[in-house]
Chain A
Amino acid sequence: MSVGVPDLQKLADSIVGKAKSGEQIEAYISRGGETSVRVYEGEVEHFVSAQSEGIGIRIIKDGRTGFAYAGTLEADAITEVLAEARDNIQFGTVDEWAGLAEPDGVAQIPQKFWDDELANYPTDKKISITKELEKLTLAADPRVRAEEANYEDGWGETAVATTTGIRESGRGNSCYVSVSTLADDGDESLTGFGFSVGDSPKEFDLKKAADDAADRATRLLGATKPASKLVTIVLDPYVTSQFVSILSSVLNGESLAKGRSLFADRLDQQVASAKFTLVDDPTNPLAYTATDIDGEGLAARRNVLIENGVLKKFVHSSYSARRMNTKSTGNATRGGFAGSPGVGCLAMQVQPGTKSQAELISGINDGVLIQDVSGMHSGVNTISGDFSTGASGIVISNGTLGAPIREFTIASTLQKMLLNIVDLGNDIDWLPMRAVGLSLVISDVMMSGA
């Protein structure tokens, strides 16, 4: 993104300029704002208008790393952060691979991250859009209530500078609307949600968000708990996105270096069905998490991770790359100014198949369409590979959708699930998550219920 925010870049440069002999310094600065509108029963429940800023400084000397941050850009705080980071160096263990990224000559692919129309969008229209979304949702189905309708937008500016020659700054803004719903049938209440994202509010599809939210809340009314058995599952695009995101930990070069990847020693081997090709490509502007640089300021790039089921690559930051005697793949991640970079996939994409979801379902005798999962954080272990999540969905029998079911789990291992991918849909959905969505068919998954 090169230098796009001169004042932040200047500040970052000035901190890096304070490096003492033998020190590597990285200064990461961000500044941003947000607007959040929540509507309930036709009234604004809350309106949040806020700005924040902060700085993180990382210093490496003689293989030891120190870090400090502050949620302010006031001069006295920055001085304190620099001193604290420097003080923290002495407590680190010497790590021969410790170091900052160095420019690697890979060119950035320019993308559009800023929308002037959004930046100048009037407040009263943000409120009226949110009210309209609630109204459309209530109109979509008489059984549906709206728990909350939200409009959110945010803008951010970041700058990074290092003694190794990284100098990058840029800005971006984004917005979305979402609505949470409840549907009642007698004693039973179920929940749903819908959303729409866009570069600016004029790209919102409020009707679709409302219809999705109504459909999600009502489609499981009357659902029963199924009996336990081995089944073929079809993951809805929204669920596939969550499933694919998990693979980021498994393909993480730092996990590999530290002996925590269940795919260690499996490079160039078959780890998934031959139908499965996984690419991390933040340079694709269709991806919600598209970016031009990674968390260390290197150019983001396209990496093929699994090709026709064969493991081709782990993703790396400059640190994990040095440890594994390879080059950064531009996959440093960063949660903001308060932390050091980590490693992970940035925008995961699965090569689609040729069939629609309906066509996929028509070929299944005994299965379940999984429309939602819960407990991904508590039931999936990316080190052992054990996979177990709560689920809800619709029974598939003889190629057709039947009755809704809920309060059951699906379980297997990540290793088996990847190998048991039977087919993929052509229904690519660029969801606002780290991985793309599409329908995914996986065989031999244990459904546990009554």
Chain B
Amino acid sequence: MTKTQTAEPLVASDVLERVLAKGRSTGAEFAEVYIEDKRSTSAGLDDGKVEQVTSGRDRGAGIRVVSGETTGFAHTSDLSERGLLAAAEAAAIAAKQGGGGVNKVQLGAVLRHSVNTVKISPDGVEKSRKVDLLKRADAAARSVNSAIVQVSAGYGDSLRRILVANSNGVLSADDQVRTLLRVSVVATGDGGMQTGYDSLGHTIGFELFDENDVEELAIRAAKQAVTKLSARPAPSGAMPVVIKRGSGGVLFHEACGHGLEADLVGKSASVYRGKMGELVASPLVTLVDDGTMTAEWGAIGIDDEGHPSQRNTLIQDGVLTDYMWDYLRARKEGRAQSGNGRRQSYQHLPMVRMTNTFVLNGTQDPDDIVRDTKHGVYIAKLGGGQVDTASGDFVFGMAEAYLIENGEITEPLRESNLIGNGPEVLKDIDLLGNDFAMGNPGMCGKDGQGVPVGDGQPTLRVRSLTIGGTAA
């Protein structure tokens, strides 16, 4: 991580000071200004055609005022001092009716935090080169097999500059650059159509494509679709499940990640409440959330409350060691924030969110994990998931999966969901590989807000998970 000072913040410090003072003018103890200026470019190819290149600009401020247990919030796309003061007044009134008083706020120099270095800023790259990636992906996917009947590909980059100031004297900035490519493929055969999908995304610039092969990505997506053409219905019932490295961090995201968010724990809406220091997972499991993980999709220099990102160990050798925290929840408990206060945009209130969440390596050879499994399912690519944090019940999809018979990976399976209960599944992890890898870029939704997150894990086995297929 680097900390440097910079001369050109999005809004001048003296303006921020006056806006924060206005935010506290009704007697509130905390005010915060969040400034965002985001430029994005996206391009979509479908049906062999580059359909559209889109340029986007989102710019504005969110102002939060906290008085006791009440948070007032207002946002504006007007970044002039007049616009900011009006929003601050609205937030102050929202937080507290009546009251009064003047609260002077003094800010120091802007602390700029960054966990990633951008070699090639996407806004300096010709749009034609971005579009070219899509054409290459399309051609590569179609070259795999004549069964490929449709390809869609999307490119996206964003430069998100944020500046956060609050009445506690925090003044931090971060420039977050993300670059992404995704490919979806449809293949057709006697049994109907099947789909394949793969994506590549990092918190870096256009050098993403110097370090990764677009054709390889497209071919993987195409092969997934073709393989599934001969897939048989997924089984039903509970059985051992082996999850390939880097394909299923979403398992932990749903099985325990959300349940370790302090806002849910604080309202006793998590199955992990009151479990600090207890064994909540197999002793094989050490779970980390790490916003500093350079270049990964969930990497951030500061969270959206201006707190530097950090590495937090949540579960150590199966024992629950910490939850994830934002400003409000940490303040209530009288403890430090953990860099997990995030928001979708200036139009949203921050809350506790994950960054990059992953399980550390075990010791097993991944091949041995499969060999050790007599009958079960091997998942090469997981889809999305969903959890009820209170009960711990969660589902996640398997986008590419195979049967394991007598210790060997055999026939491909059609898509289905899997269902399990978080605490039970965590304790049921009985083999953990030594082949850690991060997974695909993800978008995590909570309370209507989406934020980019990463996940990762080595190959592992869950002794028993319920597969939601149709075969008896």
Chain A interface (Cβ < 8 Å from any Cβ of B): 40, 43-54, 65-72, 74, 77, 80-81, 84-85, 87-88, 91-93, 95, 145, 147-148, 182, 188-191, 225, 228, 257-260, 262, 338-340, 374-375, 377-379, 381, 383-386, 388-390, 392, 406-413, 446-450
CB of B118 within 8 Å of the partner chain? no
List the B side residues contacting A410 at CB < 8 Å. Answer: 468
Contact at A378–B192, with CB atoms within 8 Å? no
Contact at B72–A47, with CB atoms within 8 Å? yes
List the B side residues contacting A446 at CB < 8 Å. Answer: 236, 469-472
Contact with A along B408-436 (1 / 0, CB 8 A): 00000011111111000000000000000
List the A side residues contacting B59 at CB < 8 Å. Answer: 70-72, 77
Please, how many angstroms separate the alpha-carbon atoms of A410 and B417 in the complex?
9
Most chain A beta-carbon contacts within 10 A, residue among B49, B130, B150, B349 = B49
Binds A, one of B21-29, B216-224, B355-363, B393-401: B393-401
Contact at B192–A68, with CB atoms within 8 Å? no
CB of B449 within 8 Å of the partner chain? no
Contact at B193–A262, with CB atoms within 8 Å? yes
* Minimum CB distance partner of B387 in chain A: A374
Q: How far is the CB of A70 from chain B (nearest CB, A)?
A: 4
* Cross-chain contact of A45 among B70, B128, B268, B384 (Cβ < 8 A): B70
Q: How far is the CB of A72 from chain B (nearest CB, A)?
A: 4
Contact at B415–A68, with CB atoms within 8 Å? no
For chain B residues 440-469, which have a beta carbon within 8 Å of chain A?
466-469
List the B side residues contacting A189 at CB < 8 Å. Answer: 268-269, 271, 390-391
CB of B347 within 8 Å of the partner chain? yes
For chain B residues 102-161, which have a beta carbon within 8 Å of chain A?
127-128, 130-131, 149-150
Please, how many angstroms separate the alpha-carbon atoms of A182 and B471 in the complex?
35
Contact at A340–B71, with CB atoms within 8 Å? no
For chain B residues 359-414, which have a beta carbon within 8 Å of chain A?
383-386, 388, 390-391, 393-397, 414
CB of B237 within 8 Å of the partner chain? yes
CB of B207 within 8 Å of the partner chain? no
Q: Could you give 20 example pairs across A and B, Cβ below 8 Å?
A: A40-B267, A45-B69, A46-B72, A52-B77, A69-B57, A70-B57, A72-B60, A93-B45, A340-B52, A375-B384, A377-B397, A378-B383, A378-B386, A378-B395, A379-B468, A381-B415, A383-B195, A408-B468, A409-B468, A411-B470
Q: How far is the CB of B148 from chain A (nearest CB, A)?
A: 11
Contact at B347–A67, with CB atoms within 8 Å? no
Contact at A377–B384, with CB atoms within 8 Å? yes
CB of B312 within 8 Å of the partner chain? no
List the B side residues contacting A84 at CB < 8 Å. Answer: 55
* Cross-chain contact of A47 among B73, B391, B397 (Cβ < 8 A): B73
Contact at A259–B149, with CB atoms within 8 Å? yes
Contact at A77–B57, with CB atoms within 8 Å? yes
CB of B234 within 8 Å of the partner chain? yes
* Cross-chain contact of A190 among B78, B130, B268, B390 (Cβ < 8 A): B390
Please, how many angstroms separate the alpha-carbon atoms of A95 and B394 in the complex?
43
Please, how many angstroms separate the alpha-carbon atoms of A190 and B347 in the complex?
31
Contact at B416–A81, with CB atoms within 8 Å? no
* Minimum CB distance partner of B384 in chain A: A378
CB of B94 within 8 Å of the partner chain? yes
Closest 7 CB pairs of A and B: A409-B468, A378-B397, A379-B417, A448-B236, A375-B395, A390-B395, A388-B416
Q: How far is the CB of B228 from chain A (nearest CB, A)?
A: 8
- Given A386-B416, A390-B417: A45 in contact with B71 (beta carbons within 8 A): yes
* Minimum CB distance partner of B64 in chain A: A46
